[in-house]
Amino acid sequence: MKFGILINEGPYQHQASDSAYLFAKAAIDKGHEVFRVFFYHDGVQNATCLSSPPQDDRNITALWSELAKEHNVDLVVCVAAALRRGILDENEAKRNGKDAHNLADGFRISGLGQLIEAGIQSDRLMVFGD
């Protein structure tokens, strides 16, 4: 089965990110495909490389980056939600006159069309968070 995943909550305010990650990992381990993970609303906070959780806490951003690298999972961050929350890739930083960017490895910024495509291309679109 091919899954699309939508995450609407940040990594440390809600269980949604952890649940989505564990679901994606379990699905892949069982031989299913994760077509795309789309980060929307506060979910874009999962994509910042600037978070530094304590060593004894999980680093959900690093876990997503590792999953993307190991299993070629497409991690897409909504551009409008990201810009509102200060999440920028190199291109968006230049376009908006900022001198830094903070999008973590394995993530990319794009628009809502990528969410629509995930819904069309996937057998199921799983939503985590409000």
- Catalytic pick from 16, 37, 47, 78? 78
Would you call 78 a catalytic residue per the annotation? yes
Percent of the chain whose pLDDT exceeds 70:
100
CA distance 129 to 88: 23
pLDDT tens digits for range 29-62: 999 999 999 999 999 999 999 999 999 899 999 9
Are 62 and 35 in contact by the 8 Å Cβ rule? The answer is no
Q: Which two tokens stand for residue 30?
A: 């069982």
pLDDT tens digits for range 83-95: 999 999 999 999 9
At 103 the pLDDT is 98
At 104 the pLDDT is 98
* 52 DSSP assignment: -
Q: Which CATH architecture has domain 2-128?
A: 3-Layer(aba) Sandwich (3.40)
Spatial strand order in the sheet of 74-78: 107-110, 74-78, 33-39, 2-7, 124-128
Record the pTM: 0.96
